[in-house]
Amino acid sequence: EPTFVSVDDTTAPEWNTDADGDHKRELADTLAEKLRERYAGGGIVHRGQGKWSPGEPLPRWNIALQWRKDGVPLWNDPSLFADPWSDEPQPGATTDAETLARRVTQTLGIPNSRLLPAYEDPLAALAAEVRKPAGEPTDVEGFDEHDLAALDRDVDTPTGWVLPLTTDGHWTSPVWTFRRGRLVLSPGTSPIGLRLPLDSVSWTPPELTAEPSYLEESPLREPEIPDVSLQGVATTATTAVAFEARDGQVHVFLPPVAHLEDYTDLLHVLEQAASATGIRLVIEGYAPPPDTRLEQLVVTPDPGVIEVNVQPVSSWAQQRELTTTLYDLARRSRLSTEKFDLDGLHTGTGGGNHITIGGIQPIDSPLLRRPDLLASLITYWQRHPSLSYLFSGRFIGPTSQAPRFDEGRPEAVYEMEVALRELRRLDAEAAAAGGS
């Protein structure tokens, strides 16, 4: 998890304490695009939600680059991706969202009647209006005259379009009917895919299915346009693709899917529809299911820094290439890995720069195959404190980014001793039984 700060602005809150900021978004966009060109040329840019820390009203944004390990493109034309932060707002985005939604519906062979307009809830807006104090507003800056007009406008103007679609074993488009006669969104400012009134769709919740294994070893097939069956909602999951115009760009909210093949098929349909209509879009919503056949690199904000969660590698040579390339692209994006105090004292960015070790599959993890190696690594680090303090920067101790288990509770040392002794016992039993 390398972390970066701005080269040109060292005093703004977003580069010291705050997690978000306009300049941080701009530089994160620049870095993500350079990383996409370098690693994810045939991949997609997924703009979803990331960390959600206490005190923050909403989860933070993140920019995920996703691509197939086998080199087959997930997406062929990157010019169809819109940038919600730097692109100019499109005056016809509302019409484009409906056009794209209808094209996707047509591509899937689904009747247009299954595509539902989604409306804001006028009752919620009216309830908020009647809770306001009596008389004229005294705070002119806090009063928005458009709020009153929205009460009438939102009654007949859809916020977006929703296509019920589920991939529970096979593709289906269920019928959604509502007691109010139409799809009315839950109040809020989040994407409409997060505000669907799912509790109004059916009296009975959908059946839960077993979570698929992410250790799929079979080759990933070519994406295709799936055959979609039509059926009622009682026996299907309440998931849907949502289309909306937000901030002048067309956003497509992807539903959760259980298998990577379903995710690639859905992307294939979206690209065909976007290419046929010439509409650029922002992909958001649920990320693909964990799968070893897919690589992912994420650019996300953290207090004072931009954090990059890089994809796993299998050797130190690959790690060296990935790290040096990332740092070079960050430098070209006006990002740095160091800060200086007023007296010139050199400090780090304040981020963790964590390194995670393991294996692509549990059976490949050296720490699981050789538990004694894990015990040796822990005890060696504990017996050589200089290793911790060499890389810790100015912050040390149990609340720092590099805590040591012997710096916190005194009993933690004895608990670790018991745990390592148990590891040795289990390892000895496995060896005696002929396992590993």
pLDDT in tens, the chain (436 residues): 889 999 999 889 999 888 899 999 999 999 999 999 999 989 999 999 988 888 888 899 999 999 999 999 999 999 999 999 988 889 999 999 999 999 999 999 999 999 999 999 888 877 777 777 877 765 555 545 555 555 555 567 899 999 999 886 689 898 898 888 899 999 988 999 999 998 888 777 766 666 667 666 678 888 888 888 887 775 677 899 999 999 999 999 999 998 899 999 999 999 999 999 999 999 999 999 888 899 999 999 998 899 999 998 988 899 999 999 999 999 999 999 888 878 887 777 766 677 788 887 888 888 888 888 889 988 998 898 888 777 776 777 777 777 788 888 889 899 999 999 998 898 888 888 875 4
In this prediction the pTM is 0.86
Q: What sign has the CA pseudo-torsion 360, 364, 367, 373?
A: negative
Structure tokens that stand for 3 in this block: 């972390």
Q: Strand, coil or helix: what is 234?
A: coil
Return phi, psi of residue 424, to 5°.
-65, -40
Query: What is the gyration radius of the CA atoms in the chain, in angstroms?
Result: 26
Q: Strand, coil or helix: what is 288?
A: coil
Could you give the maximum distance between any two Cα atoms of the chain, in Å? 83
Q: Strand, coil or helix: what is 253?
A: strand
State in Å, rounded, how far the first CA of the chain is from the last one.
Answer: 31
Structure tokens that stand for 185 in this block: 């969104």
pLDDT of residue 209: 66
* Residue 142 neighbours by CB distance under 10 Å: 7
pLDDT of residue 347: 76
Sorted by where each begins, the domain ranges of the chain are 3-300, 357-436
Dist. CA 390–CA 10, nearest whole Å: 25
